[in-house]
Every structure is written in C-alpha cells, then in structure tokens.
Amino acid sequence: MMKKYLLVGAISALFVAGNANAVSMNIQAGKHYTDVRAGLGNPNAGLSFNGNWARSDHDGQVGSLGTKFALPLGPFSASVGGKALYLSPKDGDDGAALAGGVGLNWDILPSLSVYGEAYGSPEGLTSGSKSYYEADVGAQLTVFKPLHVNAGYRVIEIENSHNRSNNKLADGFYVGAGLSF
C-alpha cells in the first residue's frame, strides 16, 4: 500500500512542472572561463534535468549531468538537486564527483528574475581531487521569448589532494545569453 502512495507522489511531482517539455540552452563567459549549459524541464517548478561544461583558460574543465526538483512558492521557487561531475583540473588528477545543492529563484517581474545556487561535493564523494564546490548568483532578463540574457558572479573550485594549489575554474563576473522553448 505504501508503495502505491510513493508511486502516486512521484508521478504527481512530474506534473507540478507546468511545462514539462521545456528545453533551454545558455552560454556564459567570464574572465578566463566559459560555461555552456542545456536543460530539459522547467527549472523553477517540478523535476528538471540539466548538463553543463565549464572550461577555464588556465585551470582545467568540468562537465556535469544533474537533476533538481523545484517547488514554486508564488514569485519564489526553492530547489534541491544533485549532479554527477567529471573533473579535469589542470594541476591534479582527473576524477569524478557526486555533488548536492540548493537554489533559490525570485521572479521580480514577468521578464526579470534573480537567482542563486550552490553545489558541493566533500572528500568522500570525490575521486582524483579532495573536494569540489560551485556557487552562482545573478539576474536574468527575458528580452523577448525565447531569448534571455543574464549576468552574475560564479565560483567553481576543485580542491586538490596532494597539497597542490587549488584549481579555480571560475571566480568572477560573467555575462550570458540563451534560449528557452
């Protein structure tokens, strides 16, 4: 009986997203790094899936596949998610990580929102490196559907084992643009 309730709850969670077939693409560029993202589902309501590839000019690259669940609360939404990451720091060993994270989004106007999210992976869930973390805070403006632009501040860091210097793939302001269908 309990399994039926869990199944109904899981299926209902998929329908919380008003637009389950939404597809988005985004590219961000900051000083010495580039981040390319793609997503499936509404990232601010219900279950969504995402992937990204970030590359630093000096400190390596990282790729991820993830999922998150967001609960809309009026103009706000809160999310919890997880990512499987491939880590390739310049100084250190290639490896993988499982990271968990949280996020918040506030739709100030229909075309303007501010957002923030943070993900981290401790030593026990990271191979090849000691730990991984990332944080992103910014604003997004929908110019016209489906085009949006965004700007913010991003940090991506891979902490090396073996007492080498850490690899900061991103640590600064960025601008970006994308499409959401």
Q: Write out pLDDT tens, residues 7-51.
A: 445 444 444 444 445 899 999 999 999 999 999 999 999 999 999
CB proximity list for 152: less than 8 A, separation 6 or greater: 115, 136, 137, 138, 139, 173, 174
| Region 49-69 average pLDDT | 95
Q: Which two tokens stand for residue 26?
A: 């985004």
Helix (H) or strand (E) holding 9: helix 2-16
Residue range 64-117, pLDDT digits in tens? 999 999 999 999 999 999 999 999 988 778 999 999 999 999 999 999 999 999
pTM: 0.84
Instruction: Confirm if 101 and 82 have CB atoms less than 8 A apart.
Output: yes
Model confidence at 3: pLDDT above 60: no
> Dihedral through CA 59, CA 79, CA 84, CA 88, nearest 10?
0
Q: Which CATH number is 23-180 given?
A: 2.40.160
Cα-trace Rg, the chain? 17
CB proximity list for 68: less than 8 A, separation 6 or greater: 43, 47, 48, 50, 79, 80, 81, 82, 101, 103
The Cα-based distances of 126 to 47, 134, 170 in angstroms read 25, 14, 19
Can you give the pLDDT at residue 21?
55
Instruction: Confirm if 106 and 115 have CB atoms less than 8 A apart.
Output: yes
Can you give the pLDDT at residue 91?
78
Of residues 130 and 147, the one with the higher pLDDT is 147
